[in-house]
Amino acid sequence: DADVTQTPRNRITKTGKRIMLECSQTKGHDRMYWYRQDPGLGLRLIYYSFDVKDINKGEISDGYSVSRQAQAKFSLSLESAIPNQTALYFCATSVATGELFFGEGSRLTVL
């Protein structure tokens, strides 16, 4: 089983719908991240969390919210999806100053 698991892997939705992407990890890492990947723009940080009570905005947090339900679980929500949120979303974990371990990605299409 993957150490960092994202669900769903693919989702097509309509403008205005609420969407939740979920991430769970078995690596025991305290730090968790949500990134968005777009062609030509690379990976951009949406939110990050260093422990259950710590949530921080990244560079592109507008239109997104997160919840850290437990050390192992970090979910990303789009309250009212819009087409320019169509992208590949990655959850990642790390130890302090360490490498990021990524999930397989969740491909979201907003029509």
Binding residues for another protein (CB under 8 A): 4, 40-45, 48, 50, 58, 90, 92, 96-97, 99-100, 102-105
Tokens of residue 36, six digits: 């968005």
| Cβ at position 41, least distance to another protein in Å | 6
Q: What is the 3-state secondary structure (H, E, C) of 40-68?
A: CCEEEEEEEEEECCEEEECCCCCCCEEEE
Q: How far is CA 109 from CA 16, 17, 101, in A?
A: 12, 12, 24
| Cβ at position 15, least distance to another protein in Å | 26
Whichever of 10 and 84 has its CB closer to another protein, that residue is 10
| Cβ at position 20, least distance to another protein in Å | 19
